[in-house]
Chain A
Amino acid sequence: MQSSPNKTRTYLGVPIARPKVAFLELSSCEGCQLQMVNNEATLLDFLSLVEVVAFREAMTEQADDYHIAFVEGSVTRADEVERLRKIRNTAKVLVALGSCACFGGVNQLKNRFQDPAWVKKQVYGDQVVESNDQAQPLEAFVPVDLRIFGCPVKKEEVEKTVTNVVLGKSVVLPKYPVCMECKANENTCLFDIGEPCLGPITRGGCDSWCPNSRMGCWGCRGPAEDANVEQMKEIMKKNGFSEETMLDRLECFGGFAKDADTLRRAMDRVK
């Protein structure tokens, strides 16, 4: 092999770009950002891979010059729309980080209510709070380049995505349902022990995080590609779970918003 003068030669000879990265948040619990500092084993490598200029969960300094913006949270206020547009104008790559940013997340549960004023009253009482009637994903306002699903995100997936962005490799997310990884982990099927689970229709990539702990899937990563929601309804019914149980899970994170809406309307018609 020809020797190179460059001591930092890397795999396939790709130079280290070290892009400036910002972790930013709209309406969210910041749990996805917290995931990023959870795994100390790879934290230093991750920090060497990128130059973090904003990361509220990990540092106090902030800068507004960045290449990749990871935006967590859903849009629930007018000022967040403005902030998001500004982020979009600054970042070359805008990544929707987590289910709130991708689908509205748990926040979008408020969207199911017909009367937004009533919801606000229930939550905040007489306190005046500026907020939009709907909690919406980033895509409702600006184009999004990449989406990383999950509530919370899986750190390994974020690292892989960032590594691929740095290397210029394409980012491919799993298209199969959670069952693939659940079987590979040799878990007992939750339906065998009488637990409901949305694993058969939910996008994988989480390494069947919840079923590994005998918790049925709630669909936080949204639908797998070609998800057979109709058959899932049959399966829930056959296993003795009510439509309400199915609906609770479908509407929890917003990825299945359309399916939840269809089911809710069908249930209302029966009532």
Chain B
Amino acid sequence: MLFRVLQKDELSTLFDQLARANATVGPIESGIDRKGNPMYAFEPVSNFADLRLSYSTTKLPAKRYFLPYQEDLASFRMEGDDWQKNVDYNIDKPCVFFGLHACDINALNKLDKVLMSALYPMPYYAAKRMNMFIIGIDCQPQPFCFCGSVASDSVTHGFDLFLTDIGDCYFLEVLSATAYNVLKTVKTSEPEEKDHVRYMKVTAERNRKFTAHIDTSDLAKILDMEFQSPVWKQWGDKCLGCGTCANVCPTCYCYGVEETVNVDLRGARKSKTLYSCNVIDFAEVAGGHNFRPERSTRLKYRYYHKHRGFVEAFEESLCVGCGRCGEACLAGITAPEVIASVRGEES
């Protein structure tokens, strides 16, 4: 890995260089909540001044840019006596992501394992993922973040450039040739020993600020043991089955596919919609049988996929500890509390 140092006032030049030629997405302020705190969202940005690089977190992940909530996979059209099929991966140009936190980049790395490295890669995801230029940025721990517990508080791959604020300048990690070439357009310098020291001090200070945790030691095993635990029923009673936790999750990728015939009966389309395992008919099969009719079993299976099934398959959990699910859950169900209760601990 290459390291460089970038003076802070050079960052807008870097942004302008990239945004001039590419679609660019970054954190912006989307509004003020009822407590007076700013809310943030990943939106297309063309003006550097609109970016909020010191954002706490966004309500929703950047998922819609690489795993849209709804996407047409194919469309069909009758042409005289014949028919045409059109397949579109729904990406026509590269996209710059300016200011993703480590958790959200780790989420992409996890999605890659399922959607790109698997036996049957998903081209709709791969096409978008391969056309991403990602600039990561360091974050300030929020009361609901537990990324450190799931090894997502820092990120070592899956991005092009990573910025860490070390005072009057940014410490840069340069990971791709593209990033190296892009940096030629701005003024950077070789980091000195004092910059290394500042980097280490800044990250150590940040790491001390995490307050939320989950205990993942032996968790896959413990989940197996506690399959019949009464705590699942308690959480199930609270759960709304609304699917919000999955929709705000940067790693939830489950989906349904539906074919819809056009009103003119001359065409049809096959579309994919992200779905949630907490929704009533997620495990409903042909004939109407539902394998998970109770909210408690559905909620349980979401935790089993994240912290047991995925761990068995990839030796890591399908959770980056961003805490968005707990923040968005109107019923106040949070991952640290659920995991602690399964372990028989007070959270």
Q: Which residues of A contact B (CB under 8 A)?
A: 1, 3-4, 7, 9-11, 14, 16, 42, 45-46, 48-49, 159-160, 162-164, 166-167, 169, 175-177, 179-180, 183-186, 188-189, 191-194, 199-201, 224-228, 231-232, 234-235, 238
The contact sample of 6 A-B pairs, CB cut-off 8 A, is: A175-B280, A176-B243, A179-B244, A183-B69, A183-B244, A200-B330
**Chain B 236-290 interface residues, beta-carbon cutoff 8 Å to A:** 237-244, 247-248, 260-268, 273-274, 276, 279-281
Which of A16, A167, A189, A232 contacts B328 (CB under 8 A)?
A189
Residues of A within 8 A of B265 (CB): 10-11, 14, 16, 49, 163, 166-167
Q: A176-B281, A184-B69, A224-B280 in contact; A3/B263 too (CB < 8 A)?
A: no
Stretch at the interface among B7-15, B29-37, B190-198: B29-37
Residues of A within 8 A of B295 (CB): 226, 228
Residues of B within 8 A of A199 (CB): 242
Asked if residues A201 and B240 are in contact (CB atoms below 8 Å), the reply is yes
Asked if residues A11 and B59 are in contact (CB atoms below 8 Å), the reply is no
Asked if residues A188 and B39 are in contact (CB atoms below 8 Å), the reply is yes
Q: Which residues of B contact A (CB under 8 A)?
A: 30-34, 39, 41, 59-60, 64, 69-70, 76, 78, 80-83, 237-244, 247-248, 260-268, 273-274, 276, 279-281, 293, 295, 328, 330-332
Asked if residues A183 and B243 are in contact (CB atoms below 8 Å), the reply is yes
Alpha-carbon distance between A180 and B274 when the two chains are bound, in angstroms: 9
Asked if residues B242 and A163 are in contact (CB atoms below 8 Å), the reply is no
Asked if residues B247 and A180 are in contact (CB atoms below 8 Å), the reply is yes
Q: A183-B60, A184-B70, A186-B64 in contact; A11/B267 too (CB < 8 A)?
A: yes
**Closest residue on chain A to residue B80 by CB atoms:** A7
- A-B complex: 8 closest residue pairs judged by Cβ atoms: A184-B69, A194-B34, A183-B247, A179-B242, A45-B263, A45-B264, A176-B279, A226-B280
Alpha-carbon distance between A47 and B125 when the two chains are bound, in angstroms: 38
Asked if residues A180 and B330 are in contact (CB atoms below 8 Å), the reply is no
Residues of B within 8 A of A180 (CB): 242-243, 247, 276, 279
Q: A179-B240, A231-B240 in contact; A192/B247 too (CB < 8 A)?
A: no
**Closest residue on chain A to residue B31 by CB atoms:** A188
Output the least CB separation between B51 and chain A (Å): 18
Which of A177, A186, A193, A194 contacts B242 (CB under 8 A)?
A177
The total of interchain contacts (Cβ-Cβ below 8 angstroms) comes to 132
Asked if residues B263 and A163 are in contact (CB atoms below 8 Å), the reply is yes
Alpha-carbon distance between A184 and B263 when the two chains are bound, in angstroms: 24
Asked if residues B69 and A225 are in contact (CB atoms below 8 Å), the reply is no
Alpha-carbon distance between A95 and B328 when the two chains are bound, in angstroms: 37
Residues of B within 8 A of A193 (CB): 31-34
Alpha-carbon distance between A192 and B34 when the two chains are bound, in angstroms: 6
Residues of B within 8 A of A163 (CB): 260-263, 265
Asked if residues B39 and A192 are in contact (CB atoms below 8 Å), the reply is yes
Asked if residues A226 and B241 are in contact (CB atoms below 8 Å), the reply is yes
Alpha-carbon distance between A185 and B260 when the two chains are bound, in angstroms: 20
Asked if residues B279 and A3 are in contact (CB atoms below 8 Å), the reply is no
Q: A11-B76, A225-B280 in contact; A183/B248 too (CB < 8 A)?
A: yes
Which of A48, A164, A176, A232 contacts B264 (CB under 8 A)?
A48
Asked if residues A10 and B330 are in contact (CB atoms below 8 Å), the reply is no
**Closest residue on chain A to residue B34 by CB atoms:** A194
Asked if residues B82 and A1 are in contact (CB atoms below 8 Å), the reply is yes
Residues of A within 8 A of B267 (CB): 11
Asked if residues A177 and B240 are in contact (CB atoms below 8 Å), the reply is yes
Residues of B within 8 A of A176 (CB): 241-243, 276, 279-281
Given contact pairs A49-B265, A176-B281, A224-B280, a sample of 16 additional A-B residue pairs in the complex whose CB atoms are under 8 Å apart: A3-B81, A9-B78, A11-B76, A11-B265, A45-B264, A49-B264, A167-B261, A167-B265, A177-B240, A177-B241, A179-B244, A180-B242, A201-B240, A226-B295, A228-B295, A235-B331
Residues of A within 8 A of B238 (CB): 228, 231
Residues of A within 8 A of B241 (CB): 176-177, 224, 226-228
Residues of A within 8 A of B60 (CB): 183, 186
Output the least CB separation between B162 and chain A (Å): 26
Which of B81, B293, B330 contacts A9 (CB under 8 A)?
B81
Asked if residues A228 and B281 are in contact (CB atoms below 8 Å), the reply is no
Q: A1-B81, A11-B266, A183-B60 in contact; A188/B240 too (CB < 8 A)?
A: no
Residues of A within 8 A of B243 (CB): 176-177, 179-180, 183
Asked if residues B78 and A10 are in contact (CB atoms below 8 Å), the reply is yes
Residues of A within 8 A of B273 (CB): 184
